[in-house]
Amino acid sequence: MNSSQLSPDQLSTYLEVATTAALAAGEVLQACWGKLESIVEKGRPGDLVTEADKQAEAVILEVLRQHFPDHSILAEESGQFGDLDAEYLWAIDPLDGTTNYAHQYPFSAASIGLLINGIPTVGAIFDPFHKELFRGAVGLGATCNDKPIHVSAVDKLAQSLLVTGFAYDRRETPDNNYQEFCYLTHITQGVRRAGAASVDLAYVACGRLDGYWERGLSPWDLAAGVAIVEAAGGRVTAYDRTPFDIRSGRILATNGRLHEELSQELLHVAKIEHWSWL
């Protein structure tokens, strides 16, 4: 079964459960804000985990298992439960933007996405610090705090505001987005780097940003946001406009109007062959 074969009522049910899980996680994030006792690296410099991540993930898992005990889950902190190729796979990030959160920089969110046969279809992203709940399902549209949202109408890259991020391995590889960041900053109205992929995608969905690209991401970073962007009328592909593969770790998401131009620029950015610290 694919998402087009699901009834609106079925999609709405999945969306409501995703929302319940995201809001529950948001309560945990608010409760732990400024009270962290343990902040550790998970193996790569800058890849942090806190008790807030773990506690928020626990409440998300409880909600999903209560409603869909047979569905598979891919969770950032707990790992894999069930078959990753299952018809229904929940990809969850209990705290997207952990580094921000650990520094009490209020830009992070709980992100709950449902993939149906590998396709991001339903998503809920809750930013408890700005009290914004972004939701969407392909075919049902997208909302922020229950008000319909749509991607922007900007159709020229020179008039756009973009967003990106840098992967945890950026210190070890020249394939690190630095050159694209500098080049696109030069030819657009600006490029932001906020530090939470799910919120970046939510902002593309609601028209605050016109496009987003990044590499080195995991399915839990992307699942909910991709579904919401597409539900809001946006377009998501690989850098070269081939079909999006959530396991590739690379994404190009735009309002659709800028997609081809931004893709072409990304593919033609001159690579920086040497960094003195690599």
* Per-residue pLDDT reduced to its tens digit, 239-272: 999 999 999 999 999 999 999 999 999 998 876 6
Structural domains counted in the chain: 2
In a domain, 51, yes or no: yes
- What pLDDT, on the 0 to 100 scale, is given for residue 44? 61
Within this chain, do residues 190 and 110 fall inside the same structural domain, yes or no?
A: no
In a domain, 275, yes or no: no
Within this chain, do residues 94 and 10 fall inside the same structural domain, yes or no?
A: yes
Within this chain, do residues 236 and 133 fall inside the same structural domain, yes or no?
A: no
Average pLDDT over residues 22-31: 97
| Secondary structure class of 199 (helix, strand, coil) | helix
In a domain, 231, yes or no: yes
Residue 174: pLDDT band (50, 70, 90) is: low
Which of 31-45, 110-124, 173-187, 205-219 has the lowest average pLDDT? 31-45
Within this chain, do residues 135 and 200 fall inside the same structural domain, yes or no?
A: no
Sign of CA dihedral 236, 241, 244, 247: negative
Beta bridge partners of 113: 91, 123
In a domain, 276, yes or no: no
Task: Indicate which CATH number applies to the domain containing 230.
Answer: 3.40.190.80
With a threshold of 0.75, does the pTM exceed it? yes
Token couple for 269: 């950015």
Return the higher-pLDDT residue of 177 and 4. Answer: 177
In a domain, 277, yes or no: no
Within this chain, do residues 63 and 99 fall inside the same structural domain, yes or no?
A: yes
Is the separation of the CB atoms in 269 and 179 below 8 Å?
yes
Q: Which domain holds residue 239?
A: 157-268
Domain end marker among 118, 148, 178: 148
In a domain, 98, yes or no: yes
Return the higher-pLDDT residue of 48 and 51. Answer: 51
Within this chain, do residues 91 and 179 fall inside the same structural domain, yes or no?
A: no
In a domain, 273, yes or no: no
Within this chain, do residues 72 and 177 fall inside the same structural domain, yes or no?
A: no
Domain end marker among 122, 148, 174: 148
> Can you list the positions of beta strands (E) in 100-189?
109-116, 119-127, 132-137, 141-144, 147-148, 161-164
Within this chain, do residues 141 and 162 fall inside the same structural domain, yes or no?
A: no
Angle 94-99-102 from CA coordinates, rounded to 5°: 85
- CA 37 to CA 40: how far, in whole Å? 10
Task: Indicate which CATH number applies to the domain containing 47.
Answer: 3.30.540.10
User: At a CB cut-off of 8 Å and minimum separation 6, what does 79 contact?
Assistant: none
Within this chain, do residues 104 and 195 fall inside the same structural domain, yes or no?
A: no
- On the question of pLDDT at 121 being above 60, the answer is yes
In a domain, 45, yes or no: yes
- What pLDDT, on the 0 to 100 scale, is given for residue 1? 56
Domain end marker among 148, 177, 192: 148
- What pLDDT, on the 0 to 100 scale, is given for residue 93? 97
